[in-house]
Amino acid sequence: QVQLVESGGGLVQPGGSLRLSCAASVRISSIYAMGWYRQAPGKQRESVATITRGGSTNYADSVKGRFTISRDNAKNTMYLQMNSLKPEDTAVYYCNTKPSLMSWGQGTQVTVSS
């Protein structure tokens, strides 16, 4: 079974940065598209950023200019660099294919607070 494991979350002050990692048990170069999702308390899960096999990227308007999605095919790992974090970025962050075809993992908690 394909597994994706998120890590790198934590508590950070507004304006701070975090780098999330998504380690895959499959060669991510074989996946057409994958991305990061997040779910805040009381909110629906939303797509944050997407990266395709060809390297093209898309971002939610709320994170454009602040977040950068990338991948390292040799390490089978996808990343989400988050800068200028805001309290509204607080959520559990998940990685999955795009569309989300895999089972959801535990995610990694990102809390932006003073």
DSSP state of 35: E
Is 90 in contact with 111 (CB distance < 8 Å)? yes
- Residue of 94, 95, 88 lying closest to 111 (CA atoms): 88
What's the pLDDT score for residue 2?
Answer: 80
User: From first to last of its 114 residues, what are the pLDDT tens digits of the chain?
Assistant: 789 999 999 999 999 999 999 999 989 998 999 999 999 999 999 999 999 999 999 999 999 999 999 999 999 999 999 999 999 999 999 999 999 999 999 999 999 999
Q: Smallest Cα–Cα separation from 88: which of 14, 31, 17, 36?
A: 14
- Kindly state the tokens that stand for 106: 């535990």
**Residue 4, pLDDT score:** 93
- Yes or no: say if 77 and 22 are a contact pair by the CB < 8 Å rule: yes
Structure confidence at residue 97 (pLDDT): 95
